[in-house]
Amino acid sequence: MNVKTAEAKGLRLLAHHDLAGKGDGMQVMRHEDVVYVGHAGTSRAGTSILDVSDPRHPKLVDQWAAPDHTHTHKVQVADGLLLINHERFPYRPAAPLGPHSAGLAVYDLADPLAPRQIAFWQSSGKGVHRIVWEGGRFAYVSVTPDGFTDRIWMILDLSDPHHPVEAGRWWWPGQWAAAGEQPKWPAGQRHAAHHALLDGNLAYLGYDDANLVVLDIAAPSSPRAIGFCRWGGGATHTCLPLPGRNLLVVTDEQQHDGPWAPARRIHLIDVLDPANPRYLRALPEPKGDFTGLPLRYGPHCLHENRQGSFQSGRLIFATYFSAGVRVYDLEDPGRPREIAHWISQTPPGQAAPQANDLFVDRDGLVWVTDRMEGGLFVLEPEGELAALM
């Protein structure tokens, strides 16, 4: 399968890989000349490892299967280690389909093309959904332990990577059902941690229908909520602090297939005072007829400015499912503008493209996964975007 470009401005397709016919890509991350891809779960693949020493010709070196009734769709790489989540899959049905693996696997990357597992942190409940780790002592995860109604936020201590231990946790009051807590949010809403991105001792946490929670994590054993912001969006996902700008860029994940699914947008939040975040505006929607398409249309992931990757306080790279990849210029936050986009052809076997996650490496290449069948794409900036990078 060779999926090509359907529409583009400022980004051109450099390469495509179908991941051996298991194209349900989720999180993607490049480390030196290796790319790691977590799989969404439908193909039953778990993790793919690719040699990208020549980005024009990625080579699949290994592909691990996911454990039964489990997906391992998230990857994080730093300090010579690879972290991979284990979570029940499918995770929405109330009753599990069978025994599953729940927790966090830790791999040594002495050979980046042949990771060697050195530890497994065992979780109860559904397991770990998302990981944020850029090296150092602490990893930050969303996890659904036994006794909780949904995902909470947890800090893991990796000072001894062979023996990760919990260091602290925070949850929205009402989630700890086993302790008798009762939800006080409106019926039909969901309060669940997705993941938090950090700025010093502050963690900006997406909390689904509760939108944004700001945590003070100066004391990791007792994270403390200091700020909240609601704007009426749902499934708040990524809250990206822009370095030196007192701004957050936030995605509300589209979790519903179209046509006419609930509207989801990318938002801009003022965090000059982190204890009182202030909603500013939504970023422009993609131009085109996407709302009537049969699969997901709306935001999902942002490039997160990780250490060792491309970093910018001005350029925002986002996946938008059927609207592909979108790039925004926030030079003037009062007038955000889209400056580039890229949409793949519809991969065989699905009804629309589904750009899922992306990672911009320090060379400026954009690595993009499709959520269903499309696999992995490598994009190269050109024109105005290339000049700004």
175-193 residue pLDDT tens:
999 999 999 999 999 999 9
| Cα-based distances in Å from 196 to 58, 70, 80, 155, 172 | 31, 23, 22, 11, 14
Percent of the chain with pLDDT over 70: 99
Higher pLDDT, 349 or 36: 36
Asked whether the predicted pLDDT for residue 214 surpasses 70, the reply is yes
> Hey, how many other C-beta atoms are within 10 angstroms of the C-beta on 51?
16
Q: Quick one: pLDDT at residue 260?
A: 85
Asked whether the predicted pLDDT for residue 96 surpasses 90, the reply is no
Q: Which of 219, 231, 388, 206 is nearest to 301 (CA)?
A: 206
How much is the mean pLDDT over the chain? 97
Q: What confidence category does residue 98 fall into, taking pLDDT thresholds of 50, 70 and 90?
A: confident
Q: What confidence category does residue 236 fall into, taking pLDDT thresholds of 50, 70 and 90?
A: very high
Q: Quick one: pLDDT at residue 228?
A: 98
Q: Quick one: pLDDT at residue 21?
A: 97
Asked whether the predicted pLDDT for residue 157 surpasses 80, the reply is yes
Q: Quick one: pLDDT at residue 93?
A: 67
Cα distance between residue 166 and residue 8, in whole Å: 45
CB 141 within 8 A of CB 128: yes
Q: Which of 166, 174, 122, 120 is nearest to 150 (CA)?
A: 174
Cα distance between residue 334 and residue 340, in whole Å: 19
Asked whether the predicted pLDDT for residue 91 surpasses 80, the reply is no
Average pLDDT on 94-99 reads 76
Q: What confidence category does residue 82 fall into, taking pLDDT thresholds of 50, 70 and 90?
A: very high
Asked whether the predicted pLDDT for residue 95 surpasses 70, the reply is no
Q: Quick one: pLDDT at residue 301?
A: 98
Average pLDDT on 101-113 reads 98
Per-residue model confidence as pLDDT tens digits over 259-314: 889 999 999 999 999 999 999 999 999 999 999 999 999 999 999 999 999 999 99
CB 38 within 8 A of CB 46: yes
Q: What confidence category does residue 94 fall into, taking pLDDT thresholds of 50, 70 and 90?
A: low
Q: Which of 1, 9, 14, 50 is nearest to 30 (CA)?
A: 50
The position carrying tokens 């947008």 is: 265
Average pLDDT on 214-240 reads 97
Whether the model pTM is above 0.95: yes
Q: Quick one: pLDDT at residue 1?
A: 79
Element housing 242 (H / E): strand 236-242
